Structure formats: structure tokens, C-alpha cells
Amino acid sequence: MNACEPVDVLTRLQERYPRFHRCAYGFLLDALHHVISMQEERRHISGQELVEGTRKLAIARFGPLARTVLEYWGIHSTDDVGEIVFALVETGVLVKQEEDRREDFEDLFDFEEVFDHDYPWSVAEA
């Protein structure tokens, strides 16, 4: 590889932080973009907003398999979302504000509860 070839940032992230699948990083960036696009004006997104956006996007994309897909990628809790965010910050992909902390992502909800028990099932009408 020469210096002019593009480097796959997701692959670099996975190599540096192998705990998570490269798709986890891309998905989190997609969730962030989705949350930002839903805002009326450009502003900082809180950890809680990003976690909620991640949950909603996972359900929209993967339906009842959302928890399975996230866990396959290494995301088992909201804490893991925070770990991915801070990996993205440490590699310069995202920028944090001074008040942003990993604790902002801790125990915001239980994956089993929101993806399994509270899944928004809909029943097709005949």
C-alpha cells in the first residue's frame, strides 16, 4: 500500500479495537447520522439520544433480529455503544465535547427488554 491509497477506517478501527466487528462502527455512524438528520437545527447529540437512535435504527433495519445482529457485532449493552463512540473519538472520526463521558452511555436500557420483550410487534390484519 502506498501513502496515496485510501485507508479503510472501519478496518483500522477493528484492528485497533478488535472487541467490536467493523460493521458495529459503521452502524453506529449511520445511527448518529440518522439522529442528526432528525434534528431541526444542528447541535450536539447526547449519549442518551445516540443510544436511543441506535435502538430505533436497529429495529428498523433488522426487525426482530436487531439484538442478534448487534450482539454478533459485539454490542451487548448501551455501555458498548459508548465504548464504540469513544473508540471513534480516540481515532479522530468523531469529536467529543468536554462534558461527554463514557458514563453517559451506562445502563440506559436492557437489550433483552427493549429488543425482545418490548419489541414493537405488529399483527397483520386479514
Tell me, what's the pLDDT at 76?
Answer: 97
pLDDT above 70 for 6: no
Tell me, what's the pLDDT at 9?
Answer: 82
In a domain, 37, yes or no: yes
Tell me, what's the pLDDT at 2?
Answer: 41
CA nearest to 45, candidates 119, 5, 104: 104
In a domain, 2, yes or no: no
Domain extent for 22: 9-117
Q: pLDDT tens digit string along 82-123?
A: 999 999 999 889 999 999 999 999 999 999 999 988 777 665
Instruction: Give me 118's grid cell.
Output: 418490548
In a domain, 124, yes or no: no
* Domain count for the chain: 1
In a domain, 1, yes or no: no
In a domain, 84, yes or no: yes
Q: pLDDT tens digit string along 30-59?
A: 999 999 999 999 889 999 999 999 999 999
In a domain, 30, yes or no: yes
